[in-house]
Structure 1
Amino acid sequence: MTTQLLEGRTILVTGVVTTGSIAYGVARRALAQGARVVLTGLERDLEKARSAAASLGVDDVLPYDATDPEAVDAVVEAIRVRVGHLDAALHAIAFAPRAALSGDMVGVDPVGLEKAFRTSTVSYAETARILQRLAPASGASLVGLDFDATGAWSVYNWMGVCKAGLESLNRYLARDLGRLGIRANLVAAGPIHTRAAGGIPGFEDLLDAWAERAPLPWDPHDVDQVADTVCFLFSDLARAVTGEILHVDGGYHAMAAPLRRRDGAG
């Protein structure tokens, strides 16, 4: 009998709201690989999240606001009562007001920016805190969802800044958690059609750029190409990988900008 990749593992997946999200895809693929999955969601999204959970055969979704430090104790206790421990966790939480995603970088309401940073970046450390308190002595795996932050996009703006912070935070978490046997890695996905993507002005321009430049064909409707990589990072196959940003983007990140001849011929 073949052993499944995540057999016997208990995994926390945050951010499942709809069946089209990357988080949902990760939960589905983890279940298929033998894992037990615990889901969390915001209070306002619980009805939709529980509908998505039911389609996975998961009994419930725990309410959890990742921007509230006091919520960590409650969710840790709820997970401890239900499943006892966690072997891995997915951070799939991000938010920015629409005004922060396009236009100029200056003049954006700082209150909205603070919420974006707390939701999209600081909450990754809070997810690490949950995992740290519930991880077995043998260690665990923390994975966050990223969008490449090495350059300035024509869209994305302040969320790009939040993702740059996320990438830096991931390195520091890898440093601090390594002594506990906990790995911290990010998956930088290409553009995927999700509810969150619908809030990005110019998202179709990103898809056009990927179609033109990525060396591998990129399917923006295929969440499994990202979910499978997350499951790999959850597994023992990635036992010596930490502090990494693994790009699942068809190779787009590795391509230089196309050169244009001075005469405009190409």
Structure 2
Amino acid sequence: MSGLLTGKRLLVTGVITDSSIAFHTARVAQEHGAQVILTGFGRMSLVNRIAQRLPEPAPVMELDVTDQDQLATLATRIREHADELDGVVHSIAFAPESCWGDFLAAPWPDVSTSLHVCAYSLNSLARAVLPLLTPSASIVGLDFDARVAWPDYDWMGVAKAALESVNRYLARELGPAESASTWSRQVH
């Protein structure tokens, strides 16, 4: 295959079904020539089956972005498939049921989980892959329009607004860096 992404190596996180944005991102990236590595969480047998539906079956690894051990080994596990990354797609979101539908009633532990998975994880993921990023690499986070308070979206909307803010701060911190080794020095 050849195209816009020929020779590029991408990590696409958050694949769970073939109707997910992450799956379609991986599919289109492959159609444009990229080598894709996928992550999923939880139902890994399902994620592995979904990966076989891509134009080229992609390697899959488990990634719980709240698990420090999994984040600490992520670069090593990715290196089994690619020496470097040209891009990372953060397509991860979760909020416990209590965070949907009754904004005032959601308990802090559930809100905290939502913020950790949806927003803080972009920072965690960026730090985990920094040693692998090429100088021109990009990290993309998928969000939702957080300019308004959507009915029933509640704490997920807050988490997505936080994700947008994390993105701005990562751009400020990592944007001026000239290389992955500079990023590693800045973050560690």
Report the Cα distance in structure 2 between the residues aligned to 1:41 and 1:88, rounded to whole angstroms.
Answer: 17
Report the Cα distance in structure 2 between the residues aligned to 1:51 and 1:181, rounded to whole angstroms.
Answer: 38
Post-superposition CA distance 1:197-220 (Å, at most 9, x none): xxxxxxxxxxxxxxxxxxxxxxxx
Q: Structure 1 residue aligned with 2:162, among 165, 170, 182?
A: 165
Asked if structure 1 preserves the Cα contact closer than 8 Å seen for 2:40 and 2:62, the reply is yes
Report the Cα distance in structure 1 between the residues aligned to 2:81 and 2:2, rounded to whole angstroms.
Answer: 25
The equivalences for 1:1-266 within 5 A come to 4-42=3-41, 44-56=42-54, 57-103=56-102, 105-136=103-134, 138-180=135-177
Report the Cα distance in structure 1 between the residues aligned to 2:70 and 2:48, rounded to whole angstroms.
Answer: 19
After superposition, the Cα gap between the structure-2 partners of 1:129 and 1:10, relative to the gap in structure 1 and judged at 3 Å, is same
Post-superposition CA distance 1:238-262 (Å, at most 9, x none): xxxxxxxxxxxxxxxxxxxxxxxxx
Residue segments in structure 1 that go unaligned for 5+ positions in a row: 183-266
Report the Cα distance in structure 1 between the residues aligned to 2:178 and 2:155, rounded to whole angstroms.
Answer: 33
Alpha-carbon deviation of 1:74? 1.3
Report the Cα distance in structure 1 between the residues aligned to 2:45 and 2:83, rounded to whole angstroms.
Answer: 25
Rg bigger for which structure?
1
TM-score (structure 2 length as normaliser):
0.89
Post-superposition CA distance 1:32-77 (Å, at most 9, x none): 00000000111x2211100010111324310111111221221110
Say which is worse superposed, 61-70 or 24-33, in terms of deviation: 61-70
Report the Cα distance in structure 1 between the residues aligned to 2:149 and 2:100, rounded to whole angstroms.
Answer: 12
Asked if structure 2 preserves the Cα contact closer than 8 Å seen for 1:140 and 1:181, the reply is no
Asked if structure 2 preserves the Cα contact closer than 8 Å seen for 1:100 and 1:108, the reply is yes
Alpha-carbon deviation of 1:131? 3.0
The size of the alignment, in residue pairs, is: 178
Report the Cα distance in structure 1 between the residues aligned to 2:128 and 2:167, rounded to whole angstroms.
Answer: 15
- The percent of aligned pairs where both chains have the same amino acid is 39
1:148 alignment partner AA: D
Asked if structure 2 preserves the Cα contact closer than 8 Å seen for 1:67 and 1:119, the reply is yes
